[in-house]
A and B are shown apart, each in its own frame.
Chain A
């Protein structure tokens, strides 16, 4: 298969096109601007449409319209821009509309910094819009994985009729790696008979968001949670890295997990029985991984580019918060391999 040396952000744009996405609505923000830049020239070549919106708010509402019209549609942004999109993400979710939203995270809060970060875990995984809801959240740790996840994201969005967030960071967005594009639908997808296409000779389509009756609104919530339960059962996804004989397990995702892999190699050379549970989807969280390994794990070493936003989910998954130690860097700082090795030795304290 053909390999291309591509920057993460551009590879994400190409992956979307390969997956049949012809519509992008977005707004420039560092460090994801190569996504709209790439798609502004590439989408017209495949008969698609690129619109640079007046704001993130407008962009996500254009996505809402295009998704309602039955199209595969993408928007991308970075942390403060994703914060702006939250209203629209809630509307998409309530109306059961499929869409893919890429977040190339940077340091926060507020305007924060333009360097890489992972501090949008709570906003994205726990839900930054109002109401009870979930979105599927995917967390690639390489450019190839970002490509593969983008393609899967469109299928999952259409299959479950839910927004899917692909949550990466500025580092993966900016790095160049060789990638290949091989899109095969991962699901048998139902027809979009609900989409706004003009009623023609059939029944009219309505995409609704307001439910005045409390019981009816409650029923909507329960209907959504039936879908969420199905997703939790079927879609947990993680990588076991050197977990066969591990007594200690790093927990990390995305860029920090990449760094942790190198650190684990060094710690293994020093004789530590250490591995990593790397969630590839942050929601649904891979609880099954912890059910599989927890009995032989003495401590979890959670490392993130946040102040520990994933620790709560690790605690829920393993059932014992006292087993978790945390090390993180924030504000756009990328932790080094040495820092993780030192953290590992401190936690494991010569227990080889």
Chain B
């Protein structure tokens, strides 16, 4: 008999505060597993956001800093410039990265800052209670768009991976999801690739994770995963948007 799946050392034993079925827990685990497998957890510093993941620093069993809302890429820039030999990451939600922190992520990416960003896109503000996010789908309900997002009134969602991939600074940008075990496996590979490319000093790397918020979407965790597949992914297609190593191979 052998244990083939157990909790990674790169997570603490604290019980996570997230709602039942929240995919933050899955992504936290993937980040931590990859760092343990690379044997880099003790050499990593992560900047966590304002939003539900503000307490991610308590769950990651490695160095961390709580950033100001949206500013994690700037904070990570400061850290990386002081410690170019460490792996430096940001973990950000959609309000953090694609709304209040748009300037910081665009410019960190444009500078080719050698950091890895994990971007959780679940189309809603979770911590503050279900308000419209920059990534809320057209027609999707939010507490500040009660009849559903109307692009004429509320503006349009932003596809960050596509937008950032137009820049020269990023080395790797992939959009993944975690709504099925197969997607989880792929998401982990993407995180691994991003961190390997950071380690190789190739530039800015980002993995966007199309994620869920069962509580504020008002559905069960299982239905939320279905919503990801049926509604979110058609608007936010999965795939590699930038990979300088693939370009070299052409």
Interface positions of A (Cβ within 8 A of B) = 23, 25, 49, 51, 53-55, 57-59, 61-71, 73, 87-88, 91, 95, 196-201, 204-210
Least CB separation from B80: chain A residue = A65
0 or 1 for each of B180-195: is its CB under 8 Å from A? (1 = yes): 0000000000000000
Quick one: CB contact mask for B86-103 with A, threshold 8 Å, 1 for yes?
Answer: 100000000000000001
A-B contact pairs, 8 of them (CB 8 A): A57-B104, A58-B71, A58-B74, A59-B74, A61-B74, A65-B47, A88-B68, A208-B65
In the complex, identify which listed stretch (B55-63, B137-145, B203-211) lies at the interface while the others stay far away.
Answer: B55-63
A206 touching B57 by the CB < 8 A rule? yes
A196 and B79: CB pair below 8 A?
yes
- Establish whether residues A198 and B45, one from each chain, have CB atoms under 8 Å apart when the complex forms: yes
Q: How far, in Å, is A65 (CB) from chain B's closest CB?
A: 3
Q: Is the CB of A199 within 8 A of B63?
A: yes
**Number of A-B residue pairs at CB separation under 8 A:** 130
Are A67 and B78 interface neighbours, CB within 8 A? yes
Measured between beta carbons, the chain A residues less than 8 angstroms from B61 are: 204
Q: How far is the CA of A90 from the CA of B47 in the complex (A)?
A: 17
Interface size on B, residues (CB 8 A): 36
Report the nearest B residue to A72, measured CB to CB. B82
Tell whether, in the assembled complex, residue A204 and residue B64 are in contact, meaning their CB atoms are under 8 Å apart. yes
Give CA–CA (A87, B82) in the complex, Å: 22
Q: Known: A49-B81, A54-B107, A69-B82. Is A208-B57 also a contact (CB below 8 A)?
A: yes
* Complex alpha-carbon distance, A201 and B79, angstroms: 20
State whether A206 touches B65 (Cβ < 8 A): yes
A65 to B73, CA, bound (A): 9
> CA separation between A88 and B62, bound complex, in Å?
24
Complexed CA–CA distance, A181 and B71 (Å): 35
Contacts of A64 in B (CB 8 A): 65, 67-68, 71, 74-75, 78
Q: Answer yes or no: B44 CB below 8 A from chain A CBs.
A: yes
Q: Indicate if B146 sits at the interface (CB-CB under 8 A).
A: no
User: Across the two chains, which residue of chain B brings its CB closest to A207?
Assistant: B65
Check B71–A204 contact: CB distance below 8 A. no
Are A69 and B62 CB-contacts (below 8 A) given A54-B103, A88-B68? no
CB distance from B38 to the nearest CB of A (A): 13
